[in-house]
């Protein structure tokens, strides 16, 4: 039983680290950097307005990226780490 609990803790930690921290953080960072560069090249907006627009875009992207990231992390873990200890519910 202790082994199953340990596996569940590690699985949850890895999943949360990837799906809630690392991948969304990287994705939003790159999206904001690209939008700031594009706004700088395509508009004559003052820098504070460009930064606020970039922030708004990053925040607006969050609901759109949640499901694809969660599904991708599930697939990644099912294809790699979870094969080492078996899927949940398997004997």
> Domains of the chain: which residue ranges?
1-84
Give per-residue pLDDT as tens, 8-42.
Answer: 999 999 999 999 999 999 999 999 999 999 999 99
Contact, 28 vs 54, CB < 8 A? no
Q: Model pTM?
A: 0.84
Pairwise CA distance, residues 18 & 11, whole Å: 11
Residue for token pair 């820098």: 47
Residues 6 or more apart from 24 whose CB is under 8 A from it?
62, 65, 66, 69
């Amino acid at each position: 039983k202790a082994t199953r609990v340990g596996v569940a803790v590690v699985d949850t930690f890895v999943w949360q680290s990837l799906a809630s921290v690392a991948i969304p953080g990287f994705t939003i960072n790159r999206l904001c950097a690209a939008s700031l560069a594009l706004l700088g090249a395509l508009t004559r907006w003052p820098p504070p307005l460009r930064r606020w627009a970039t922030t708004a875009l990053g925040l607006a992207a969050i609901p759109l990226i949640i499901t694809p990231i969660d599904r991708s992390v599930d697939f990644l873990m099912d294809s790699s780490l979870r094969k080492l200890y078996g899927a949940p519910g398997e004997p």
